[in-house]
Amino acid sequence: MLDLSEEEDLCPIALGSYLFGDKWIPVIIRDIALFDRRTFNDLLKNNNEKISSGALSSRLQRMCQLGMLEVSGDASHAQKKLYSLTEAGIAFVPIIFKMAAWTAQFRNPSKQVVAMTRPYIDNDQVAINSVLENLEKIHISKTVNPEPFWWASKVKI
């Protein structure tokens, strides 16, 4: 990790590349934000990209250090940890939507997933703002427990 004086010497793109230049960070944010996978085991077992347990552990730790995630205990099990997005983690969600838009335009990702994410890929600010507001309710104020694919229906929860 860079210290603040080292960060001040880098342009924003170089610093962002250093901090987030990892294939797993956007995938983990996606899984937590959109699929509500909040425990280590849920993230590990339900990850289509087959992240290893060691890679997941180190990325979760790094994301906590970066202030993107926070960890709390789970009332249902003493040893279970729940990962929640912080404001910084929620602010990263539009970046993954931009990544999805780029790949949908210039590559060949899953047509089914592109269809599900179409409002976000098309930069529908009303839909994106709704997702961000709902993520704050889920992860920051913890006033909502989301239904599966709540974001795909564009229904405010």
**pLDDT tens figures, 65-122:** 999 999 998 777 777 899 999 999 999 999 999 999 999 999 999 999 899 999 999 9
- What is the fold of 4-140? Arc Repressor Mutant, subunit A (1.10.10)
C-alpha 84/C-alpha 37 separation (Å) is 10
Question: Hey, is 45 helix, strand or coil?
Answer: helix
pTM over 0.75: yes
What is the domain partition of the chain in residue ranges? 4-140
For residue 66, which phi and psi values (nearest 5 degrees)? -75, -10
Residue 87 token pair: 């404001």
DSSP letter for 74, please: E
